């Protein structure tokens, strides 16, 4: 017998899905009950022992499922039990390579899908479970779940598009191919939706979309989101999109460069400078880059990536003066120090110091006065 939510019992032989949820771990349960239920100490102690027994029984069920090669989804597993799973013989894992373990707040799920049609009413939040299967590209789990949802749900007209876009978002190649080839999804009618959903795609998924599905990446906002999303920043994927995207204007190039500076994405910024700009023929990129760094009050690592001794030698004196004036204009003492000490000497210190005083940046003016005294010595 396996316990599920609400202490409801399920027969393992008759049930197709085995689920355990709602803070089963004893330590999490004690913390949860103190905050939400405010139970008495006697009830907490009895509940602690009760769920401790269930947890031990559950561990035996998990190990039996894993040894049988069944698909198992685990969440919020204790550290000692994770060590038990990882220390199992390699022969046990060769027969079932798709065993996934992850943590998820105070909830613990164990979902087992044997061959056949699962029972929908025995799965808590089936839509969320399907998204988890798509996220980790678990094709067999997804197929069994879709049999259940497809046969029982009345609102199943748009499931192909919704789950195909989710598969594109999580770069789940097997599930996307199954929806297109086996289920006959008409992807040609939704190419615009596919092109606007490439922010989270990796390089392999982008190649498949462009070469096989013939999707053109015309949505510039989606390209921007590839840089602005904090969890992405995939340089290879962004480089591939920029190679195949048509009509990348100078204005859009500058927009992407500014976004890299705003998000302090030094890797993508170096790639864009290498791809779009020639320092000898277009040295204004250095002035633009430092201006954006000063404007957003951060991105010192971007400044160090933009300006160094080698790049300063390629610049004209007029451009280097413009760069210094931008740093002084915004009162960026850290950039002024970096330019003076690590890059090249600041020319015409008295004029720069007067400009800092006019802008009421006393700290920058004091530093320039100290540099002036040092040079006199």
Q: What is the pLDDT of residue 176?
A: 93
In Å, how far are 19, 146, 177, 190, 293 from 183, measured between CA atoms?
29, 11, 9, 15, 50
pLDDT, tens digit, 9 for 90 and up, residues 201-231: 888 999 999 999 999 888 888 888 888 875 5
pLDDT, tens digit, 9 for 90 and up, residues 163-214: 899 999 888 999 999 999 988 888 998 888 898 888 888 889 999 999 999 9
Q: What is the pLDDT of residue 95?
A: 33
At 107, list the tokens.
């909830």
pLDDT, tens digit, 9 for 90 and up, residues 250-301: 788 878 888 887 777 778 877 887 787 665 555 556 666 666 666 666 667 7
Coil, helix or strand at residue 102:
strand
Closest listed residue to residue 123, CA positions, set 149, 98, 90: 149
In Å, how far are 30, 202, 205, 277, 286 from 273, measured between CA atoms?
55, 22, 25, 5, 10
- The DSSP symbol for 204 reads H
Q: What is the pLDDT of residue 96?
A: 35
pLDDT above 70 covers what percent of the chain?
55
Name the helix (H) or strand (E) containing 108: none
Closest listed residue to residue 204, CA positions, set 137, 255, 260: 137
Greater confidence, 156 or 347? 347
Pick from 141-150, 161-170, 251-260, 318-327: least confident: 141-150
Greater confidence, 162 or 61? 162
Q: What are phi and psi of 8, to 5 degrees?
A: -85, 135
Neighbours of 345 (CB within 10 A): 10
At 99, list the tokens.
């065993």
Greater confidence, 63 or 276? 276
Coil, helix or strand at residue 349:
helix
The band of 37, judged by pLDDT with boundaries at 50, 70 and 90, is very low
Is the confidence at residue 58, as pLDDT, over 90? no
In Å, how far are 30, 215, 237 from 206, measured between CA atoms?
46, 9, 7
Q: What is the pLDDT of residue 364?
A: 87
Q: What is the pLDDT of residue 32?
A: 44
Name the helix (H) or strand (E) containing 346: none
- pTM for this one? 0.59
Kindly provide the residue ranges of all beta strands, DSSP E only, lying in the chain, ordered along the sequence.
2-3, 9-10, 72-75, 100-102, 111-112
Domain ranges of the chain: 1-114, 125-185, 278-377
Residue with tokens 């008409």: 186
pLDDT, tens digit, 9 for 90 and up, residues 234-259: 788 888 988 888 777 878 887 888 88
The band of 334, judged by pLDDT with boundaries at 50, 70 and 90, is confident
Q: What is the pLDDT of residue 145?
A: 72
Closest listed residue to residue 225, CA positions, set 241, 247, 208, 209: 241
Provide mean pLDDT across the span 323-327: 81
The band of 314, judged by pLDDT with boundaries at 50, 70 and 90, is confident
């Amino acid at each position: 017998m396996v316990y599920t939510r609400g202490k409801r019992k399920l027969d393992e032989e008759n049930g197709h899905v085995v689920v355990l949820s709602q803070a089963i771990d004893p330590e999490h349960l004690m913390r949860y009950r103190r905050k939400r239920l405010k139970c008495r100490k006697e009830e907490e102690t009895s509940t602690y022992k009760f769920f401790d027994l269930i947890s031990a029984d559950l561990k035996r069920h998990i190990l039996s499922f894993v040894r049988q090669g069944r698909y198992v989804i685990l969440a919020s597993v204790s550290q000692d039990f994770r060590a038990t799973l990882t220390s199992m013989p390699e022969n046990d894992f060769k027969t079932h390579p798709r065993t996934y373990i992850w943590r998820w707040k105070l909830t613990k799920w164990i979902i087992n899908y044997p061959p056949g049609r699962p029972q929908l009413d025995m799965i808590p939040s089936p839509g969320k479970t399907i998204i988890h299967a798509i996220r980790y590209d678990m094709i067999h789990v997804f197929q069994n779940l879709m049999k259940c949802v497809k046969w029982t749900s009345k609102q199943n007209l748009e499931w192909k598009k919704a789950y195909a876009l989710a598969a594109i978002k999580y770069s789940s190649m097997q599930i996307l191919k199954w929806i297109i080839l086996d289920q006959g999804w008409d992807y040609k009618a939704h190419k615009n939706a596919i092109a606007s959903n490439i922010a989270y795609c990796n390089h392999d998924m982008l190649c498949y979309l462009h070469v096989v599905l013939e999707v053109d990446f015309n949505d510039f906002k989606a390209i921007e989101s590839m840089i602005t999303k904090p969890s992405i920043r995939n340089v290879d994927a962004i480089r591939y999109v920029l190679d195949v995207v048509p009509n990348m204007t100078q204005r859009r190039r500058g927009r992407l460069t500014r976004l890299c500076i705003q998000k302090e994405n030094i890797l993508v910024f170096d790639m864009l400078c290498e791809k779009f700009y020639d320092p000898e023929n277009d040295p204004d990129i250095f002035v633009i880059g430092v201006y954006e760094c000063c404007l957003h009050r951060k991105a010192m690592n971007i400044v160090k990536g933009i300006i160094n001794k080698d790049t300063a030698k390629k610049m004209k004196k007029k451009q280097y003066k413009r760069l210094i004036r931008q740093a002084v204009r915004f009162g960026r003492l850290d950039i002024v120090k970096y330019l003076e000490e690590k890059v090249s000497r600041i020319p015409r210190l008295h004029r720069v110091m007067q400009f800092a005083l006019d802008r009421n940046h006393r700290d920058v003016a004091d530093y320039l006065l100290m540099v002036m005294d040092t040079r006199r010595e």
